[in-house]
Amino acid sequence: MPKILVVDDDPKIVELVKLYLERERFQVFTAYDGLQALELARQKQPDLIILDVMLPKVDGLDVLRLLTQEGSPPIIMLTAKRTEDDKLIGLELGADDYVTKPFSPRELVARVRVVLRRLQKAKSGRPEQVQLGDLVVDYGRREARRDGRTLPLTPTEFNLLAFLAQTPGRVYSRQELLDELFGYDAASLERTIDTHIMNLRRKIEPDPANPVHVQTVYGQGYRVEEGNR
């Protein structure tokens, strides 16, 4: 039974989301501020976290930042802010999806299932690891290493690299990458792919300004360079 941590300072929202998730046979833990969220995330090791942006004690974005640094499970952010830039801030910090308030509980449950299904897919049917020059993409351990050092990738950054690396040389459009990474009403967030690619390059490339692993194919999309295998 997948474990979900729901974090929001509004008890009504927490109880509503908890009700819908439990109907779908998820095990649900709840928190109402950022400190509780951090404690429960570390204690319960949930499979996914639903996290409000505006939280007392510790802000939701700070919770997100801390948990992704620790190698957190997928995180879906809740926010009352609607602009694309607001969403990009969370996605840049490692969020896997974004839901704006007011929201449909059924839609939220659908997004939870999509994210968990994508995570399960990433764990199965792929080689144990792929070697790209000095970079190793380890599917079994869900980590990337360069020169033996584990790189601090967020779950979304790893998923992006893992997807590109499974077919070196193939060019993927931004929309194809959006469908793979988010898979649910993501067309309005096409810029997020460029942001994730930029953040990924900062972590995996010896010189991010002159990338050797993740290449831009202008007018088409991105690929992992075959010659670096």
Provide the β-strand partners of residue 31: 7
**129/117 same-domain check:** no
Q: Give the domain extent around 28.
A: 3-122
Q: Say how many domains are in the chain.
A: 2
Q: pLDDT band for 229, please (50, 70, 90 cuts).
A: very low
**106/10 same-domain check:** yes
Q: pLDDT band for 192, please (50, 70, 90 cuts).
A: confident
Domain closes at, from 87, 122, 157:
122
Instruction: Residue 76: give its domain's CATH number.
Output: 3.40.50.2300
Q: Indicate the average pLDDT of the chain.
A: 86
More confident site: 182 or 158? 158
Contact residues for 179 (Cβ-Cβ < 8 A; gap 6+): 186
**106/132 same-domain check:** no
pLDDT at 169 over 50: yes
More confident site: 200 or 155? 200
Domain closes at, from 122, 139, 165:
122
User: What is the structure's pLDDT at 97?
Assistant: 84
**102/164 same-domain check:** no
Report the C-alpha gap between 51 and 134 in whole angstroms. 36
Burial class of residue 83, CB neighbours in 10 A (0-12, 13-18, 19+): exposed
User: What is the structure's pLDDT at 185?
Assistant: 52
Burial class of residue 132, CB neighbours in 10 A (0-12, 13-18, 19+): buried
Question: Minimal CA–CA distance to 77: which of 60, 58, 57?
Answer: 60
User: What is the structure's pLDDT at 40?
Assistant: 96
**173/117 same-domain check:** no
User: What is the structure's pLDDT at 124?
Assistant: 61
Please give the span between the terminal C-alpha atoms of the chain, in angstroms, as a whole number. Answer: 38
**112/9 same-domain check:** yes
Q: State the average pLDDT over residues 222-228.
A: 75
* Tokens (6 digits) for 14: 């927490």
**93/136 same-domain check:** no
**99/171 same-domain check:** no
Instruction: Residue 143: give its domain's CATH number.
Output: 1.10.10.10
Q: Are 15 and 31 in contact (CB under 8 A)?
A: no
**7/118 same-domain check:** yes
Provide the β-strand partners of residue 131: 136
Domain closes at, from 122, 156, 181:
122
**84/187 same-domain check:** no
pLDDT of 66-115, one tens digit each?
998 887 788 999 988 665 666 777 777 778 888 888 899 998 998 898 88
